[in-house]
Chain A
Amino acid sequence: MPTLSLEDTQTVTQDAAQDAIVFENVSIAFQEKVVLDEISFRLPRGETKAIFGVAGSGKSTILKLVLGLIKPDRGRIVVLGENVTEMREEDLFELRRKIGMVFQESALFDSLTVRENVAFRLLEEGNVSEEETEKRVREALRFVELENTVDKYPSELSGGMRRRVAIARAIITQPEVILYDSPTGGLDPVTSNTIIELIVKQRDVYKTSALLVTHRLQDAFTMATHYFDSKTNHMQPLPPGAHSEVPMAFMVLRDGKVIFDGDVQQLVKTKDEYIREFISLD
């Protein structure tokens, strides 16, 4: 593992405090299989970074590492200025309250109604009045355009609706960071577009930092080429040449390594054969 001098460490620590997420030489293996091998990257505050890679390349593992749900074998992970690799599980609960997570299969609590699911975090904190909770639940559900499902159970909703409820649950406390694990996976193009619009809205309206794991390159390209227009309440295409105006980055994983980390312009101009093939296949 590369060693850092004192000066380097201080610089890293300063940067880490400014960035939402910092990975430094992080490695993890599951039963002899190395999933992530000395990966390093940073997510500046307010930016959304889309992570690509084939199935099993460690994309979802990165999200679980950010939340401290699993610990790396080596390396350091700093989230919102706190080193999660050294934190105890009890201390992590406080940090996790500042992070929203949308799971691949939504992971809604099936014995609770949509209202209870979305309000879960507020109810757990216990310091929010009933009226305030109801108001914020309705606001969050209005954001995902599902206010009419408030009394339904997750089993009564379609896959796309469940994904949107999961987004409402993640954003209700306006977290500083949101982690999306394949939010459009297995959904039809129309529903996928609705979800992407919501993610763009969250990025541009609330300036939330986000990591987005996806297999669908076109979703990330849509995010890089569109902005959310609050007047029309819809996503609009950016004028030609204005792509750098949205805080959107791309990261590609291969064999446990980060082989690309940059913006959309750098991605389309890359000479890397694997990445070019990846783009053309999508």
Chain B
Amino acid sequence: MELISPADFVKDKVLAVQDYALLAGRSVGNLFRRPLYMADMIQQADLIGFGSLPIVVLSGLLTGAVLADNSAATLGRFGSLSLIGQLVSIGMVRELGPVLTGLMVAGRNASGMASELGSMVVTEQIDAMRALGTDPSKKLLTPRLAATVFMLFFLTIISDLLGLVGGNLVSMLLGLDSHQYWTSAWQVLVFNDVFTGLLKPIFFGFIIATIGCYYGISARGGTQGVGRATTQAVVAASVLILVVDFFLTRFLIVLLGYR
């Protein structure tokens, strides 16, 4: 393995961050420039949104069920089993719904974007597109970004709802009244919870699309390079989602002043 000097290593990283920032900025800026590829956006929304629906449904339903099941024993010990609806509701809407949906969509779509764009780079299709007078950032990146942000928002809502349904199924098995479950789950939610839970997918969607596209466009070294880019995209997107989630949660707690 070739050794690289610390200075070159840092320079490479700074350059990568700069390239990523430029790509992300251009992708957003293209939303306000013509042509706007609406057909490509709808196609991507279908691939990213409806394509991710099965895994989001499954993960949301099971997470809500497991959350209810795990907390039932502890709540039961204090005679507070009726609070299970509140716990699932807060947990899903504020945290688990957005994060798990983000991670699921990152695993499926950041890898998809990186491999698709990476293959296009190594087979000169991106150069061909530029040579044909089409801006790849407008045609390929912006539709993916817009579609991911838009669809992740709704996928998160679906995931939250199904998490509550999962929690309800478990609570019914534990002998809890369904009406009581839904009433407590509904009543505990305040504006800040819903706002926090629905703001996060916008950030996560941005991360998934820009990271997936960045690693795809930067792919070098043939099929091996595409494979590497795909793996790196999933890892980077997942880690960034968790890091941004932490800081965003802290920021919102301070900003909105709630616990």
Contacts and interface: CB of A to CB of B under 8 A. Distances in A.
Q: Do A and B form a real pair?
A: yes
B178 interface: no
A69 B132 CA distance: 11
A67 B131 contact: yes
A69 B130 contact: yes
Contacts of B119: 110
B87 to A, nearest CB: 46
Contacts of A89: 135
A121 interface: yes
B35 A126 contact: yes
B124 A105 contact: yes
Contacts of A120: 132, 134
Given A101-B128, A103-B128, A107-B128, A93 B123 contact: no
Interface in A77-107: 89-90, 93-94, 96-97, 99, 101, 103-105, 107
B133 interface: yes
Given A103-B124, A110-B125, A69 B131 contact: yes
Contacts of B128: 101, 103, 107-109
A104 B127 CA distance: 12
Contacts of A110: 119, 123, 125
A234 to B, nearest CB: 30
B125 A107 contact: yes
A64 interface: yes
A164 to B, nearest CB: 15
B123 A107 contact: yes
Chain A contact-residue range equals: 20 to 34
A99 B120 CA distance: 21
A93 B134 contact: yes
B12 to A, nearest CB: 13
Interface string A131-156: 00000000000000000000000000
Interface in B87-141: 119-120, 123-125, 127-135
Chain B contact-residue range equals: 10 to 19
Contacts of A282: none
Nearest to B137: A89
A8 interface: no
Given A67-B130, A69-B130, A126-B35, A93 B135 contact: yes
Contacts of B132: 96-97, 101, 120-121, 124, 169
Nearest to B135: A93
B216 to A, nearest CB: 14
Nearest to B124: A107
Contacts of A105: 123-124
A96 B130 contact: yes
B97 to A, nearest CB: 33
A120 B133 CA distance: 10
B123 A124 contact: no
A96 B135 contact: no
- Which residue, of A64, A93, A126, A169, has the highest number of chain B Cβ atoms within 10 A? A93
Contacts of A64: 127
Contact of A69 (B35, B127, B134): B127
Contacts of A104: 124
A109 B134 CA distance: 13
Nearest to B33: A90
Contacts of B130: 67, 69, 93, 96
Contacts of A96: 130-133
Contacts of A109: 120, 125, 128-129
A90 B134 CA distance: 9
Contacts of A90: 135
- Which residue, of B128, B131, B134, has the highest number of chain A Cβ atoms within 10 A? B131
Nearest to B131: A101
Contacts of B124: 103-105, 107
A93 B135 CA distance: 7
A89 B119 CA distance: 23
Contact of B131 (A94, A99, A108): A99
A207 B148 CA distance: 47
B133 A124 contact: yes
Interface of A: 64, 67, 69, 89-90, 93-94, 96-97, 99, 101, 103-105, 107-110, 120-121, 124, 126, 169
16 contacts: A67-B130, A67-B131, A69-B127, A96-B132, A97-B133, A101-B128, A103-B124, A103-B128, A103-B131, A105-B124, A107-B125, A107-B127, A108-B125, A109-B128, A120-B132, A124-B134
A-B residue pairs, 7 tightest by C-beta: A107-B128, A97-B133, A107-B124, A101-B131, A96-B133, A93-B133, A124-B134
